[in-house]
Structure 1
């Protein structure tokens, strides 16, 4: 994932570890997650719209691991989305966009 432009979202400390928030980035809802202990950065972003339930709810999902993959489980039908790739593990045709992220000076940035 390479970004041509970056949008500031919030301070890292504004997101409770192992939860997500929704942010509006260029008119699209983006689910931004802070994952404790998995990487030095620990911040991921995917599209917030769950194509399985047709609802913008992924930022409210539960974070966990399936094997080596860091995932969020949709709060409606519980499909798992890989936080790095956006792939829906149960229905790959219903995958979502994954966004580049970075943390600079305590601020989370999402790339578009």
Structure 2
């Protein structure tokens, strides 16, 4: 059985460095994280595509499905819910979601790691 550990907040970049509806990869405490800024808010997920194992989700296509903010993997186009990390195309597949916030104009991420 795995448990989730929550670590401290890491400052990543100024909010102005994140373009609307585009992803960007960031190295946060040694982990590749994909950051997204949409009209709905900020999202952070692992950059690793759980289907292929490639670190590419930050280069995915940002969109929505039935009002849910999403990113589609650039490799095989599986779509992930940015709010939960769940794959909307393959039941049981998910990417780890991390907490993200903007504080005083700076984007901060708090990693969630499976033990």
Pairwise CA distance, 1:29: 0.7
Equivalence map 1:26-105=2 (5 Å): 26-36=29-39, 38=40, 42-105=41-104
Using the alignment, how far apart are the partners of 1:79 and 1:110 within structure 2? 24
Are the counterparts in 2 of residues 47 and 97 from structure 1 also a CA contact under 8 Å?
A: yes
Aligned residues: CA RMSD: 1.7
Are the counterparts in 2 of residues 103 and 109 from structure 1 also a CA contact under 8 Å?
A: yes
Where does structure 1 differ by over 4 angstroms across 4 or more consecutive aligned residues?
Answer: none
Which has the larger share of strand? 2
**CA displacement 1:2-47 (0-9 Å, x = unmatched):** 95400111111111111011111222111000112x2xxx110001
Q: TM-score scaled by structure 1?
A: 0.89
Pairwise CA distance, 1:63: 0.7
Are the counterparts in 2 of residues 3 and 100 from structure 1 also a CA contact under 8 Å?
A: no
Which structure 1 residue ranges, 5 or more long, are not aligned? none
Q: TM-score scaled by structure 2?
A: 0.87
